[in-house]
């Protein structure tokens, strides 16, 4: 029997080769000029919705990725197609169209716009991109964006540091797409390392790679999909960020500090405890989520360093409760999926993956129990939501390295 990692490597090699052929067939690119960039999807076991408040977050890249085959174009034209979406995105570098709602072409257009602010882009690109998971929860949009940034930089001979690429990726979301997100996704995709937990301080953009403890039991990552899909800009994501801003403004005023930027990270846990009576309604709940989640990240890092997956998993599941009760995200099917997961034997812990408005849940599971857990969860969910079951697989995967040109 071949190992899961080897099987994944073989699948990747097949995809890389077929993407190369697609690029040559669709755009007539010379074979020798074709390169492939791999930008993994990410999970965030702890640190939900606190990146935009500049809190600390934990992440990992997984061994499932967006792949983009590309080559320089002979002009300043960008021509891209996708194996997952119809049509072609085509524009000139000196005439980048504005955002068009719901169009995947926003990612390449956004990538060019943000890069052009500080870099000269003279060479266009042709490319074909493919990714298995576009349903949400795994930061597929950030993975596509990072892949395109790296490809554009490569054909233009630009050597852009990873920290800058993180902010460029965030710029695509914030400035071009209108999503007020933090740096979690881009950091996880660019900085992660196989078998390590990536701890990112979203205030300083500093990070630490924390290796798995030698005594840590073998685990797998389970992605349990809900079958729900919807773009984040159309969710309550931005409203939640605004509610956090409101809470931060009230607390910063109370402690006599300026309100620029009005983010919860600039308030200490003690200051929050002393002044929380000033908060009511949604801002009170969002602040309660922020401060408890920061605490879970700190405790989670300690548990990880000790190889204590039971404790780490409990913190994940507690984070799930806070996402439901305090952050008030999670549609009913996603909450059902979460509840199925935490009741299943062999699961260390689970929570919504990503923003948690749609997409999937992520769980850490005992490696040996993984296939049974996946099958059980898929079956239980199908019973509760037969209408969504056809699009709701449960997929086992593992941690992996961050984005790279192959
Ligand atoms: C989305 C956003 C991230 C982060 C997560 C929730 O993935 O893009 O910036 O806020 O949701 O943790």
Query: How far is the C-alpha of 105 from the C-alpha of 320, rounded, in Å?
Result: 33
Give the 3-state secondary structure of 45-57: EECCCCCCCCCEE
Q: Which residue's CA is the nearest one to ligand 1's atom 2?
A: 181
The tokens for 117 are 């602010």
CB 302 within 8 A of CB 332: no
Among the residue ranges 54-58, 201-205, 234-238, 265-269, the one predicted with the least confidence is 234-238
Look at residue 36 and tell me whether its pLDDT is greater than 60: yes
- Ligand 1: distance of its center to the CA of 48 in Å? 7
The residue whose C-alpha atom lies closest to atom 7 belonging to ligand 1 is 354
For the chain, the average pLDDT equals 93
**Closest atom of ligand 1 relative to the 142 alpha carbon:** 8
Pairing state between β 360-366 and 219-225: antiparallel
Burial of 77 (0-12, 13-18, 19+ CB in 10 A): middle
Q: Alpha carbon of 185 to those of 158, 182, 318: distances in Å?
A: 22, 8, 21
Tell how far the Cα of 355 is from the centroid of ligand 1, in angstroms: 5
Q: What is the pLDDT of residue 337?
A: 96
d(Cα 37, Cα 15) in Å, to the nearest integer?
Answer: 12
Domains, in order of start, for the chain? 4-210 (3.30.230.10), 214-398 (3.30.70.890)
**Cβ-based neighbours of 88, under 8 Å, separated by 6 or more:** 79, 80, 81
Q: Average the pLDDT over 41-64 and give the result.
A: 97
Please list, in sequence order, all residues whose beta carbon lies within 8 angstroms of the beta carbon of residue 49, skipping any fewer than 6 positions away: 240, 289, 290, 293, 323, 327, 329, 355, 356
Residue 86's pLDDT is 84
In whole angstroms, what is the distance from residue 352 CA to residue 143 CA?
19
- Among 51, 76, 48, which Cα is nearest to 156's? 76
64 DSSP assignment: E
Q: Which residues are catalytic?
A: 185
The average pLDDT across 177-203 equals 97
> Hey, which of 171, 182, 188, 322 would you mutate to test ligand 1's pocket, going by the most ligand atoms within 8 Å of its Cβ?
182
Ligand 1 atom with minimal separation from the 48 CA: 12
Which two structure tokens, joined as six digits, stand for 310?
């039971």
Statement: residue 1 has pLDDT above 50: no
Q: How far is the CA of 23 from the centre of ligand 1 (A)?
A: 32
CA–centroid distance, 264 to ligand 1, in Å, is 16
> Dihedrals φ, ψ of 234, to 5°?
-90, 0
* Helix, strand, coil tally for the chain in percent (to 5): 45, 20, 35
pLDDT of residue 238: 94
Is residue 342 within 8 Å of residue 350, measured between CB atoms?
yes
Q: What is the position in ligand 1's atom list of the atom closest to the CA of 44?
A: 12
Ligand 1 first shell, C-beta below 6 A: 44, 48-49, 51-52, 139, 181-182, 184-185, 354-355
Question: How much distance in Å is there from the Cα of 49 to the middle of ligand 1?
Answer: 6
For residue 231, pLDDT over 60 is answered with no
pLDDT > 50? residue 2: no
Residue with the bigger pLDDT between 87 and 7: it is 87
Predicted pLDDT of residue 9 = 57
Atom of ligand 1 nearest to the CA of 183: 9
Residue identified by tokens 């079956």 is 379
pLDDT at 98 exceeding the cut of 50: yes
């Amino acid at each position: 029997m071949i190992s899961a990692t080897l099987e994944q490597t073989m699948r990747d090699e097949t995809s890389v080769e077929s993407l190369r052929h697609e690029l040559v067939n669709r755009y007539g690119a010379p074979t020798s000029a074709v390169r492939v960039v791999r930008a993994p999807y990410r999970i965030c076991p702890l640190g939900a919705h606190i990146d935009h408040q500049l809190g600390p977050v934990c992440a990992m890249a997984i061994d499932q990725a967006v792949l983009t085959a590309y080559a320089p174009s002979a002009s300043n034209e960008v021509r891209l197609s996708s194996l997952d979406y119809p049509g072609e995105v085509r524009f000139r570098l000196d005439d980048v169209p504005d955002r068009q709602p719901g169009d995947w072409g926003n990612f390449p257009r956004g990538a060019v716009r943000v890069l052009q602010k500080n870099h000269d882009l003279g060479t266009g690109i042709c490319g074909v991109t493919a990714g298995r998971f576009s349903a949400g929860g795994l930061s597929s949009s950030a993975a596509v964006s990072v892949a395109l940034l790296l490809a554009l930089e490569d054909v233009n001979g630009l050597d852009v540091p990873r920290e800058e690429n993180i902010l460029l990726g965030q710029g695509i979301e914030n400035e071009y797409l209108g999503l007020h997100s933090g740096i979690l996704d881009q950091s996880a995709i660019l900085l992660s390392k196989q078998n390590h937990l990536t701890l990112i301080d979203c205030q300083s953009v500093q990070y630490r790679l924390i290796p798995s403890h030698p005594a840590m039991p073998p685990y797998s990552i389970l992605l349990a999909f809900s079958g729900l899909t919807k773009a984040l800009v159309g969710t309550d994501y931005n409203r939640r960020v605004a509610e956090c801003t409101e809470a931060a403004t009230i607390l910063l005023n109370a402690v006599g500090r300026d309100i620029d930027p009005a983010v919860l990270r600039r308030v200490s846990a003690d200051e929050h405890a002393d002044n929380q009576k000033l908060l009511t309604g949604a801002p009170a709940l969002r602040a309660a989520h922020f401060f408890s989640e920061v605490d879970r990240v700190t405790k989670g890092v300690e548990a990880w360093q000790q190889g204590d997956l039971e404790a780490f998993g409990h913190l994940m599941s507690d984070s799930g409760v806070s996402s439901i009760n305090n952050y008030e995200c999670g549609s009913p099917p996603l909450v059902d999926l979460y509840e199925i997961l935490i009741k299943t034997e062999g699961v260390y812990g689970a929570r919504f993956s990503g923003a948690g408005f749609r997409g999937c849940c992520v769980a850490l599971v005992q490696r040996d129990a993984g296939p049974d857990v996946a099958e059980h969860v898929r079956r239980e969910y199908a019973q509760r939501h037969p209408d969504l079951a056809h699009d709701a697989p449960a997929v086992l995967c593992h941690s992996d390295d961050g984005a790279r040109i192959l």
